[in-house]
A and B are shown apart, each in its own frame.
Chain A
Amino acid sequence: MLRIFRSLILGLALGALVGLYFGWVSFPMDARNRQLSQLAQSHQDDYSVMIAAGYAADGDLVGASARLALVYGDEAQRHLRESAERIISSSARSLPDIRLLVALARDLGQLSPLMMPFLTLEESGG
């Protein structure tokens, strides 16, 4: 009886270890059921930049705001300001991307002192 018990425990432990490796590394979850609001921060930033770029092209502030709300909900404008400030502080994106974000933040009334240099740059440099 003891030998069976010992074999069971050993097999279970070894199997679980190998299985964890496969489940974690080789075959991670492939579920496609996430929402925009569940995107990782960097991808949320990417989405915001894309929306800001769209706004720069079509001037559709209502549409841009609605699309941001898909990610950030009712607090979209505040989130945009925070994202822009964080991106500026961490140099997480390129200058053109920051300028797009700042332009959208400005038109949504979310300009902050941190953004001002980029706004000046935009207005002087086109």
Chain B
Amino acid sequence: MQPAAPESAAPAAFSYTAFALSLIAGLALGIALGRLLGPLPGGEAEPWQLRAEDRNHYMLAIALEYHESGDAARALDKLIALKPAGDPLVALAEGACALGSGGYLADASGIAALRSAVQLYQDFGREGCAERLLPEAAPAALPAEPPPPAADARAQPTPLPSKTPPPASAQTAQTARLAPTPLPRRFREHSLRSFCDIARPAIIEVRTVDYLGRGVPGQRIRVRWGESEDIFLTGIKREYGDNYGDFQMEEGVEYAVDMPGAAEPLATALSTGSCYSDNRRGLKSWRVSFVEV
């Protein structure tokens, strides 16, 4: 007679393997469904969820309000609520730059609005490309006397009047409310060395740091050669860090690098030429850093 099998040898009522596998599948399914059906259905979007172009317009609206109220804290709160990847004012500068580069300056309205954005980030010591895109003179705008209030309770929209500038007194009051522009930051050459990277030939890499070595984004770097020059901002290529900018050199050309209004030109003119890395020929690159003084 066979002895009775012990209880522990009886087939389990539960398969842990099947349970674990289906748990993982269920988890993935649940997360996907949760995110799809999630708490923010269409039409209930938050400002930070706006696509880039619309976010730029939203930031411009913030700047317009700041232009009227001079309330920097409120403006900053709203910029922060957009959850930018880095400095919210640099994000504003980049947004203004993108709008300015994209035909936003075709009319006086765009010019005035962009000027408000530039004013806002410059009040906090930031720089962008938008100020270089703006025309020198203030736009010849137009405040027309607003049309008299419509007598009819539900009046039809009236044709839009031409834009006219606000009264001088209003402009003066606005200016007085805005915070003074901080002193410009000053930098000096900190280090300069060449390197050979086959993947990144003939590049001038520039970084801007403060006296503690922390990155300083949004600084203008100028590269001049012959009769030409190019100005770029540090921090635009975020994949390389928020204080990084670069410039592509050509062979046989010498380049002078400085920070306009902020740092003297490098003592050495930079040029590229042959270099070798792992027995492969490349073109020499330069790594420059400016430190705040």
Listed in ascending order, the chain A residues whose CB lies under 8 Å from chain B are 3-4, 6-25, 27-29, 31-36, 38-40, 43, 46-47, 49-51, 53-54, 56-63, 65-67, 70, 77, 100, 103, 106-113, 119
Q: Which of B46-54, B121-129, B200-208, B248-256 contacts A (4 or more CB under 8 A)?
A: B46-54
Which label, helix, strand, loop or mixed, suits the secondary structure of the B interface? helix
Q: 8 shortest A-B CB distances, which residue pairs?
A: A19-B30, A23-B34, A15-B26, A54-B64, A63-B109, A11-B22, A59-B143, A109-B158
Contact A50:B65 (CB < 8 A) given known A23-B33, A111-B149: yes
Q: Which among B23, B39, B150, B156 is the interface contact of A12 at CB below 8 angstroms?
A: B23
A18 to B23, CA, bound (A): 9
In the complex, the answer to whether B38 meets A8 with C-beta atoms within 8 Å is: no
In the complex, the answer to whether A32 meets B149 with C-beta atoms within 8 Å is: no
Contact A15:B25 (CB < 8 A) given known A54-B64, A57-B174: yes
Complex contacts, A67 vs chain B, CB 8 Å: 57, 60-61, 64, 113
In the complex, the answer to whether B68 meets A57 with C-beta atoms within 8 Å is: yes
Complex contacts, B154 vs chain A, CB 8 Å: 112
In the complex, the answer to whether A32 meets B49 with C-beta atoms within 8 Å is: yes
Complex contacts, B141 vs chain A, CB 8 Å: 58-60
A26 → chain B closest CB, angstroms: 9
In the complex, the answer to whether A12 meets B35 with C-beta atoms within 8 Å is: no
In the complex, the answer to whether A40 meets B43 with C-beta atoms within 8 Å is: yes
Q: Which of B11-19, B182-190, B216-224, B260-268 contacts A (4 or more CB under 8 A)?
A: B11-19
In the complex, the answer to whether A43 meets B46 with C-beta atoms within 8 Å is: yes
A10 to B42, CA, bound (A): 33
Q: Which among A11, A24, A28 is the interface contact of B18 at CB below 8 angstroms?
A: A11
In the complex, the answer to whether B109 meets A60 with C-beta atoms within 8 Å is: yes
Q: Which among A7, A77, A100 is the interface contact of B22 at CB below 8 angstroms?
A: A7
